Chains A and B, each alone.
Chain A
Amino acid sequence: ETGVTQTPRHLVMGMTNKKSLKCEQHLGHNAMYWYKQSAKKPLELMFVYSLEERVENNSVPSRFSPECPNSSHLFLHLHTLQPEDSALYLCASSHERSGANVLTFGAGSRLTVL
């Protein structure tokens, strides 16, 4: 248990489904992140929320929609996904203050799009 909890751990969905991934942290951090991890590719930064404001939307397709209702919770809403979106989605958090250089990751949500 890293202090960052992601649910569900595994998700299979069809291309027309709508689902959400959830991330929760109780570390007192105030920045949260979504990363996508595919085989043989770098971890791709998707979204960054700092103090509940989105500060990065890294050219992510609109079929991915993030939501950060408070500093402890982060969601990734999914709709009309494509098979190439199948990947491990990792949530991370950090504390945004000078010298805060550590990301704490959750275990990830393994998404399969059929």
Chain B
Amino acid sequence: GQSLEQPSEVTAVEGAIVQINCTYQTSGFYGLSWYQQHDGGAPTFLSYNALDGLEETGRFSSFLSRSDSYGYLLLQELQMKDSASYFCAVKRNFNKFYFGSGTKLNVKP
């Protein structure tokens, strides 16, 4: 089996930086993904880390430490449109992806 833990809710102000952590327990680990989901919308892919270290894509960065079974998503220069739920997901064999319960990010003016 597998389990993933992430905070249920985070609040930050516009222009700030926020970090959403994810710890996981699983066998057959291939990598850690992050997805964004706005209310009423579909989850959309943000990033994927297979190796330790930081991956940067514009305002978003994602980090993985395989030895610590830990990763985080870093959002910089927060905008109101970043208010959404963010999910981490582990990839296992046969392209199976298992998700955490999500972190609701509230961005305030």
B94 CB contacts on chain A under 8 angstroms = 48, 50, 55-56
Number of A-B contacts (CB under 8 A): 59
Answer whether residue B64 sits at the interface, using C-beta atoms and an 8 A cutoff: no
CB contact list, B76-96 vs A, under 8 A: 87, 89, 91, 94-96
Answer whether residue A15 sits at the interface, using C-beta atoms and an 8 A cutoff: no
A100 CB contacts on chain B under 8 angstroms = 95
Across the interface, B31 reaches (CB within 8 A) one of A96, A101, A106, namely A101
A90 CB contacts on chain B under 8 angstroms = 42-43
Alpha-carbon gap, A55 to B33, bound state (A) = 21
Is A43 a contact partner of B91 (Cβ separation < 8 A)? Answer: no
Contacts A48-B95, A50-B95, A55-B94 given; indicate if A42 touches B44 (C-beta within 8 A): no
Alpha-carbon gap, A33 to B95, bound state (A) = 10
In the assembled complex, how far is the CB of residue A13 from the closest CB belonging to chain B, in whole angstroms? 21
A45 CB contacts on chain B under 8 angstroms = 96-99
CB contact list, A24-67 vs B, under 8 A: 31, 33, 35, 40-43, 45, 48, 50, 55-56
A41 CB contacts on chain B under 8 angstroms = 101
Please tell me the size bucket of the interface on A: 20 to 34
Which of A2, A4, A42, A90 has the largest number of chain B CB atoms within 10 A? A42
In the assembled complex, how far is the CB of residue B43 from the closest CB belonging to chain A, in whole angstroms? 5
CB contact list, B54-109 vs A, under 8 A: 87, 89, 91, 94-102
* Given A43-B89, A103-B33, 5 other A-B residues pairs in contact with their CB atoms under 8 A: A42-B102, A50-B95, A90-B43, A102-B45, A103-B35
